[in-house]
Amino acid sequence: MIEDVQALVDNEQMEMLRGRRGLPLSTNTFDYATYHNLDEIYAFMDLLVAENPNLVSKLEIGRSTENRPLYVLKFSKGGTNRPAIWIDTGIHSREWVTQASGVWFAKKVQTPLDTSCVPKGPQGPSATVADLMERTVLRHHQGTSNHHPL
């Protein structure tokens, strides 16, 4: 059991302050593992836009009930009628990790990636169908199934 929770909280806050002696100068030095307030998240968004002006833009989409600006990041190289993905974070105030996930995801989206796609397993769908047929026929012939094989 923890004897003095306040001391634990105070130590955690000191660690957080020590790590934040000023906002990061780039998204590479942003600490994704700690809580960030709205100003820090908006500063991260500004950094991401500054680092990638041809890909990322920050748009105000409205105002909160407290009249704070609501911003989104748009990742685009131009064009119209293109598919889009909406990543919504920070819906509930106590779920601070969603904001951390959102800024981490934003950083990853703008990072050039080597992508590989494996559209199917190495044996392909024919192996699955053959295996299913074999098991179904075997059950049918053993009298354990009333189903007709495929």
Token pair 């050039």 is found at: 112
Give pLDDT tens digits along the chain (150 positions): 888 888 888 777 777 666 555 655 678 888 888 788 888 889 999 999 999 998 889 999 999 899 999 999 998 888 888 887 788 888 777 777 888 888 888 888 877 755 555 555 555 555 556 666 676 666 666 665 555 555
Residue ranges of the domains in the chain? 5-110
How many angstroms separate the CA atoms of 44 and 25, rounded?
A: 9
Structure tokens at 53: 């002006």
Token pair 């189903």 is found at: 147
pTM value > 0.85 = no
Collapse the DSSP code of 37 into the 3-class scheme (helix H, G, I; strand E, B; otherwise coil) and give the result: coil
How many angstroms separate the CA atoms of 126 and 122, rounded?
A: 10
